[in-house]
Structure 1
Amino acid sequence: MTRTPQTSPVPAVPDAPEASATTRSRRRWPFLAAATVAAVAVAGGAVAYADARKTVTLDVDGDVKTVTSYSGSVDDLLTSQGVVVDDRDLVTPTAGASLEDGADVVVRSGKELSLQVDGKDTDAWVTALDAAEALDTLTARGGDVRIVASRDGERASLPVDVDTDGPVAVVHDGTTDVIDGADDVEAVLAEADVELGAKDRVHVTDAANGEVKKHVAAAVADEQKQAEKQATKDGAQTEQVAATEAAAPQVAVVVQRVETKKVTTTTSIDHETKTKKSSDRYADLDPKVAKKGKDGERTIVHQVTTIDGKVVKKTKVSDDVTTKPVTGVLVKGTKERPEPEPETPTYSGSTRSIGQQMAAARGWSGSEWTCLESLWTKESGWDASAANPSSGAYGIPQSLPGSKMATAGSDWQTNPATQIEWGLGYIADVYGTPCGAWGHSQSVGWY
């Protein structure tokens, strides 16, 4: 709907006003205007021309004035006043109807609203004066209805005022303010000292909506306390203080803070451990660390969008291994450990005493020891350095030659125990027992 400006004086003829008085009035006409629902017939048929002068009230989107006119029809009246309507506007009485004296002619412009109904975006045309009236009509169908403000930079705008009749609640940044005397959504936000970021969202909803109901009720209660406190301070009577009541907003302007930023997180990458076998290391030893392993690191970047601190969208931007893990290496031995050599007994005392101990270790004691003692007393007198100059026999057992005793130890020339060890072995191999060797010696003179 548009108004056609008048550039020439209005003559005192039909279809022109003679006098007018303009006021601002709130008249609610809760109709949803749509091209297929409430089309306005602006091409009027034949209307009888009225000769009588008429005084009517013309209300164009809340701008009310009294007009004296000679127009015969509503259409003629609108034309004379420069009011142009289209199919989405609402006119009552209809544009083609006769204009009666004392009539109320109401024009409501069609306005397209961006809505969110139960979380889904849609559009609708309405002829409401403000968002409060539009929500009355739209919520009558049920569902959660929000009127979404358009954004341009740091500004927010609606094709309708917020509420031309009463206060407005502004829910923002965890608090709720109640604003009076500001119709335009931008003025409402300015009154509440709310500055918008480029991505912030603004919508208008019913103050009784579950989204804001609790916050609005708390804000109204606080306003009530402040009003009562001020009334008491001003010296009002008790009953006047009790009668003080803060007006409850019918609608709420909700500001949602939208932030999009990159969030970087890091996670650990476990390292592997490999085991190598080595024949140079004994199998009974614990594995040896040849190379220490080290965990790696993965860096993930997400583009995160939050609304009032809650994540609504998260998109992975990158996922990179920033530090590669280091594989650890263990060495496990496979070499079998040899059997430990038997400990060599330690003998002490005289050569005869050593001989007795070593013979006993073989089980030769008693008579066997007596035979052995007699045998080697005869041969060498138990002298470890005894040498036969004629035969070359040597040592306690008179080994011939003496070097044979090297099989018992490299110290055969000086160590009595080595000589005795070899001699006992010789007797066991050749004669079986000392008494066997002693008997042979007594028989033939040698053994």
Structure 2
Amino acid sequence: MARRWTPRQFLIRRRLRVAVCLTAVVAASLASFGVAARKTVAIEVNGSTRIVQTYAMSISRLLQEQNVDVKTHDLVDSTSGKTLTNHDVVRVQSAYQTTINIGGKQIPFWTTATSVQQLLAFFHENQKNALRVTVNIANVYNQLTGGLVINKKGPVTVIADGKSSIAPNGELPAASILDSKGIVLGKNDRVSVESDNGTTILRVQRVKYTQTTKTVTVAHATRTIVDSSLASGETKVEQQGQDGENRETYDNTVVDGSVESSKLVKTETLSVAIDTIIAVGPEKTETESSGSSSASGSSSDSSSSSSSASPSSSASSSSKSSTSKPSSSSASPSATKSTTRSAAKSTAAATPKATASKSTATAKPTAKPTATATTSTGSSSSSGRLWEPTVAQAQAYAAGAAAQRGWTGAEWTALVWLWNKESGWRWDADNASSDAYGIPQALPGSKMGTNWQYDGAVQIDWGLQYIAESYGSPTAAKAHSVKYNWY
């Protein structure tokens, strides 16, 4: 007996067909997504390449998945930018810190160069007329920086102890080259590498620290006092001055026999400067002659006596201003003219002694703050990597850092244009309207890192990283800036 068709059966069959179709669509979508998401990627870590299969969507996820440890200053880039696509090549270059010398300024510099010559080439490639740049090797026996190959392309000129020689094999680290030449380094000696007209120079500088003293003259001063015993306009040398002497002690840094720098560390007073004291007679005024006739109840003799011995007289007030204590003659207003005159002389004679003792008290502190100021200045300059750089120093540093990323030629020109427009390459450029700060005009400036307000290296490193992540290259950042007037 055949089954009868009913509406209920129709509904059930339709639901089954819909469910089967949905399942097929989902399965096909998942399959296509899986096929599309699966990528074959090449990872190059410090020149070593391997091919991997991954479903990661970003470079950071891929490196984490493959257990590639990336440090803060390491350079990471890919052929497709920030997103990961099939057949990408992801490059990781480990960075290490060395010290470069830009225009006489020592700057810690993170680099991915495989040789010192390559590092110098980074700077010369973008800066044809740059400040003189050398690479300092702080410890030639250090496994990281001391093991850096000097020059892969050829011989190296070695200069040490006033002699020059050629090391034919440049594919050796500094320690090996110096050992082959029989050059023994002292604990304070400096080793640096520089390029001079295509010649790679490995230079050894002998450094020692000495202490020297020298005697300096402290000039004496000349003071004038009023002596009522002298006639008006008359002068008399009461005390002949004499220069003083200080002994100054310096800590010196001696490089290859020449003093490179000196710092004042101590000042001692050997003798105090004694002032020259010149006594002058009081000036005559019209009020003096009229004052004797209009005096109330005082005789001319007592007026004269008070003018020379009274504490309110010009002589006594002058004595008060030049001495720390009132003279004994001022305390006896009943003295005669002759007594007053002799007392005035003794007061004038006693005055230089009090003055000399005052000079002694003030002479010592005068020199001490000088040493303190020198010390504080030295400490502040070493608190950053590229502290308050000039425009030339900032561009020299950026030239090497940009060249490490492959930004030379048009890319470097675009970077110079961009930061000229933004800040004029000034480390303290502060945008009053937006509060953006520094060479790359970061907003806020604090996100650039420690010492962001003064350290040009911190600002430049952050700016290059920002351009790499946001635009991929300086030319792209410049195009955005031209179109929108910001980047």
TM-score normalized by the length of structure 1: 0.36
Q: Which structure has the larger Rg over C-alpha atoms?
A: 1
TM-score normalized by the length of structure 2: 0.34
| Bigger proportion of residues as helix | 2
Structure number with higher relative contact order (C-alpha < 8 Å, ≥ 6 residues apart)? 2
